[in-house]
Amino acid sequence: MDLALAKAVVTGAASTHGLGFATAKKVIDAGGYAALLDVNDEEGEKSATELGDRAIYIHADVSSESDVQAAIAKASEIMDGITLAVSCAGIIGAARALGREAPMPGEFFLNTLKVNLLGSFLVAKEAANVMQHNEPNDDGERGLIVSTASIAAFEGQIGQVSYSASKGGVVGMTLPLAREFARIGIRVNVVAPGIFMTPMVAGMTPELQDSLGAQVPFPSRLGRPEEYADLVASIYCNAMINGETIRLDGAIRMQPK
């Protein structure tokens, strides 16, 4: 598929420091269209304005099925279809199962799953519902879905139990979805980033950022959102990449803490 013809829905795209914004920008710069979905209306509107006339911001809480359904429908109507859906919305959910004062509340654990895992699923199935009506290209392709996991899905650290569980779920649902959607020409993949310069990391001190970057074997630095966007673009253009989990981490393997 040609990125210049892409009609993308990207969640978690409000912050200009984030993976979602970089992905939307990549699509826009190539000549495509992008709908930015987020809950931060002020930042979202500013980001869409910055990206220009081929970008639009739509409010959507990815953990709400009705929100996702409405946002996908609106994006499809405005862009006259959807060919790419990228889930970047997520929360950290950092806490130990046995905290200092009390065990982790089940609701805390569940909330992390709702945003990270359920949110990714809702976006995937609603986007696929729209994509199945696209005209197929010569390979029979109608669209691409990319979810965002994390290396924490494989090497979760102490305090990441809810986060790792949610991201592990994202990895686990990818192949079944790719197999199910194969009959309608929709590919499904997941990217598992390592330590990237995201809004959370951007708020850390330069010393802490350097310390985190030094843990990466090569290149020994933090990942850049543009590198995530580059990978999504590569997946979009390569029809053979399907049902895959791709680590984007500079060969880092996380330690217990």
pLDDT tens-digit map of 214-224 = 999 999 999 99
- So what's the pLDDT on residue 185? 98
| pLDDT confidence tier of residue 51, bands split at 50, 70 and 90 | very high
Closest CA to 244 of 157, 184, 170: 170
- So what's the pLDDT on residue 205? 87
Greatest Cα pair distance in the chain: 59
What the chain holds in terms of domains, given with CATH numbers, is: 3-194+224-245 (3.40.50.720)
Per the listing, tokens 């990815």 go with: 62
Backbone φ/ψ region at 210: left (φ over 0), alpha (ψ -120 to 50), beta: alpha
Of how many residues is the chain composed?
257
Task: Give me 7's structure tokens.
Answer: 């009609």
pLDDT at 200 over 80: no
| 147-198 pLDDT tens trace | 999 999 999 999 999 999 999 999 999 999 999 999 999 999 999 999 999 8
Single pTM value for the model: 0.96
- Give me the catalytic one of 33, 163, 228, 236: 163
Bridge-partner residues for 103, per DSSP?
Answer: 98
Lowest mean pLDDT among 67-81, 140-154, 203-217, 237-251: 203-217
Residues 6 or more apart from 234 whose CB is under 8 A from it?
Answer: 241
> Known catalytic residue: 163?
yes
- So what's the pLDDT on residue 155? 96
Instruction: Return the higher-pLDDT residue of 202 and 129.
Output: 129
Cβ contact 174:216 at 8 Å: no
| 28-46 pLDDT tens trace | 999 999 999 999 999 999 9
Q: Are strands 55-59 and 186-193 parallel, antiparallel or unpaired?
A: unpaired
- So what's the pLDDT on residue 211? 87
